Amino acid sequence: MVPFFRLASMLASQKCKITFIIMQLEISTTKSSFISNYFADHPEINRLDFQILPLNTSTFPINDPFIMQIDAISNSLHQLGPLVSSLNEPVSAIVSDFIIASSLSQIANNLNIPLYNISTTSAKFYSIVAYLPVLLSKDPAAFKYCSSNLEIPGLGSVPKSSIPRSWMDDSPLSYVLKAYLLPNARALPQVTGVFLNTFDWFEPETIAALDDGRVTSSLPLVFPVGPMEDYKLGEDTQCSWLDDQPAESVVYVNFGTREPISSQQLREIGKGLEICGYKFLWVLKEEHLELFGNTVLEEMEKKGKIVKPGDYEEAIMNHTAIGLFMNQCEWDSVMNAAWSGVPILAWPHHGDQKLNAEIVEKVGLGRWVEEWGWGEENLVNGREIAEMVKNFMGDVNMKVNALKVREQARKTKGIGGSSEKRLRKFIKALKAEQK
């Protein structure tokens, strides 16, 4: 949800009137507090809670809460038309997640309201997803064996090793490609524009290919308006500990909450952090703490700090004590690092992350440890992790390059910067729709 909150804040800061529709099956106490705090900090943004109709899970073929929530939202979208029509003021645009583009495009068309999507990945991975209908129409078995690289117009050759393994026909998760990514990619020609959390300098060739229609001519306009920086999102609860640490002395480790990391690998990561010689701040789910036991955790806490997941990543990375970010290259985190100028030790785990890591390395924001493979593929021992952390923390050139990325990220959001111009272009289009 964070990219949506950030975009809403960006548009509200430009005097756009925003109505934010919250669509959730179940909202945890932590998320509920986060959402309430956001709207308390942004009284200018109107909130509407959208009632999701219950899904008959007993007949649902896939036991995946995320997928079930998408289906529940899609099955409830017919209620959106009357809700939008009941608003006091005319609606200039609907902005939604890409994953419900196919369900929402017809509704937006019936309402005669332009539909825009938010893509939460890199421009490169978005381009590959957008090209899927063309690719699979040419070769329906493209992911059956995938013996060669993918050739994407405007992007060139995409290594087969970087293609998500879940896309392969023999993967138990291949239904996500066929049932969700492909239908929504086919709906893109009905979408007016797509917001990308990236910027021209960071992915110049890919954004140029999208602008010129080289990926495929039927795609909507793209609006690279990143990095979508923090607009009072989350509480900065870790900085009191960070305040006591020297500049660039702490390794920040965060692999998110959905990564397929084994218990063995988590223990090895813990061992690596303990012996690397640097203080660390490690975000770890509560259920994973049980893997270590109280005695081990007490020893680790002498050399670092372990915290539960929360919406405070950007606040942490903006702190001067952070010297390295160990991450799987989830795209929102990449943009946080770009904004803060913190080097990334990239360890992709699934999905778009190898392609994202390739971009990170190419632009100089960090390095990708390719020999470690996909995160769930190999067991990397703690000593190897410790050695890699030492090498990265001692790499002065990488830190200098990361600060250059930060400079470009700040420049692109300033007056006359590429992202600022793209945002103004979108607002201009909205005003034109009202005439």
Taking the C-alpha atoms of residue 174 and residue 172, their distance in angstroms, rounded to an integer, is 6
**The two structure tokens encoding residue 336:** 């946080």
Mean pLDDT of 185-195: 96
Sorted by sequence, the CB contacts under 8 Å of residue 156 that are 6+ apart come out as none
Nearest to 50 by CA among 77, 31, 28: 77
Confidence of residue 28 (pLDDT cuts 50, 70, 90): low
Look up the pTM and report it: 0.93
Complete domains list, the chain, with CATH: 2-231+414-434 (3.40.50.2000), 239-410 (3.40.50.2000)
| 259 vs 37: which has the higher pLDDT | 37
Tell me: the pLDDT tens digits for 239-295? 789 999 999 999 999 998 776 788 899 999 999 999 999 999 999 988 888 888 888
Q: What is the mean pLDDT of the chain?
A: 89
Contact 272, 389 (CB under 8 A): yes
Q: Is the pLDDT of residue 109 over 80?
A: yes
Give the Cα separation of 294 and 280 in Å (integer).
Answer: 18
Distance of CA 416 to the CA centre of its chain: 26
Q: Determine phi and psi for 2, rounding to 5 degrees.
A: -55, -45
Q: What is the pLDDT of residue 264?
A: 93
Helix axes 396-413, 331-340, angle to 10 degrees: 100
- According to the model, what pLDDT value does residue 33 have? 77
Q: How many other CB atoms sit within 10 Å of the CB of residue 5?
A: 23
Nearest one of 182, 157, 178 to 169, comparing CA atoms: 178
How far is it, in rounded angstroms, from Cα 316 to Cα 322?
7
- pLDDT, residue 233, reads 54
Of the candidates 322, 339, 333, 354, the residue with the CA atom closest to the CA atom of residue 411? 339
- Condensed to tens digits (0 to 9), the pLDDT of residues 308-343 reads 887 678 889 999 999 999 999 999 999 999 999 999
Give the separation between CA 302 and CA 281, rounded to whole angstroms.
12
What's residue 170's pLDDT?
Answer: 78
* Interval 341-390: pLDDT, tens: 999 999 999 899 999 999 999 999 999 999 998 877 789 999 999 999 99
Lowest mean pLDDT among 133-137, 203-207, 299-303, 431-435: 431-435
192-244 pLDDT, tens per residue? 999 999 999 999 999 999 999 999 989 999 999 999 976 555 555 557 899 99
Residue pair 307/283 in contact (Cβ under 8 Å)? The answer is yes
Residue 68 CB neighbours (<10 A): 15
Tokens representing 272 are 């690596």
Residue 211, both tokens = 């602008």
CA 296 to chain centre: 32
Q: Are 12 and 45 in contact (CB under 8 A)?
A: yes
The more confident residue out of 332 and 24 is 332
Whether the CB-CB separation of 389 and 278 falls below 8 Å is answered with yes
pLDDT single digits (tens) 60-108: 666 777 778 888 888 888 888 888 888 888 899 999 999 999 989 999 9
Let me know: does 224 contact 123? Beta carbons within 8 Å.
Answer: yes
Q: For the chain, what is the largest distance between any 2 Cα atoms, rounded to a whole number of angstroms?
A: 67
Spatial CA neighbour of 91 closest among 32, 164, 186, 18 = 18
In b/e form, how buried is each residue of 367-397, taking b as 16+ CB within 10 angstroms? bbbeebebbeeeebebeebbebbbebbebee
Q: Over the chain, what HEC string results?
A: CHHHHHHHHHHHHCCCCCEEEEECCCCCHHHHHHHHHHHHHCCCCEEEEECCCCCCHHHCCCCCHHHHHHHHHHHHHHHHHHHHHCCCCCCCCEEEEHHHHHHHHHHHHHHCCCEEEEECCCHHHHHHHHHHHHHHHHCCCCCCCCCCCEEECCCEEECHHHCCHHHCCCCCCCHHHHHHHHHHHHCHHHCCEEEECCCCCCCHHHHHHHHCCCCCCCCCEEEECCCCCCCCCCCCCCHHHHCCCCCCCEEEEECCCCCCCCHHHHHHHHHHHHHCCCEEEEECCHHHHCCCHHHHHHHHHCCEEEECCCCCHHHHHCCCCEEEEEECCCHHHHHHHHHHCCCEEECCCCCCHHHHHHHHHHHCCEEECHHHCCCCCCCCCHHHHHHHHHHHHCCHHHHHHHHHHHHHHHHHHCCCCHHHHHHHHHHHHHHHHHC
Length of the chain: 435
Max avg pLDDT among 6-10, 26-30, 302-306, 361-365? 361-365
Tell me the C-alpha distance between 236 and 283, whole Å. 14
